[in-house]
Amino acid sequence: MKLLIFVAAVFALLWLLKRSLGGRAAPPSSRSAKPDAAAEPKQIIACAQCGMHLPRDEALPGRGGVFCGDAHRAAYEKAHPE
């Protein structure tokens, strides 16, 4: 029985050493480790012409919606005259 406890203690010690020394590959999951700036998700919108989804800050606003590019904005506005 003493041997079992000794082996368990050695394993625990090795695990603790491994965790504190080389913890880069598998960092311990801590709740407040992430910076807040990166936690905000990007808003995804769809192009009014082709329906492709893209981040809102990459979209081109135009008449009748937002578009994935200049060509689609022009095509949409040509197809939907005022």
Residues of the shown chain interacting with Zn ion in the complex, contacts defined by CB under 5 A: 47, 49-50, 52, 68, 72
How many H-runs (helices) and E-runs (strands) does the chain carry? 3, 4
Decide whether 45 or 49 has the Cβ nearer to Zn ion. 49
| Whether the Cβ atoms of residue 59 and residue 47 lie closer than 8 Å to each other | yes
User: Residue 45 or 72: which CB sits closer to Zn ion?
Assistant: 72
Min dist CB 71 to Zn ion, Å, is 8
Taking the complex as a whole, how short is the minimal distance between the CB of residue 59 and Zn ion, in angstroms? 9
Question: What are residue 78's phi and psi, to 5 degrees?
Answer: -75, -40
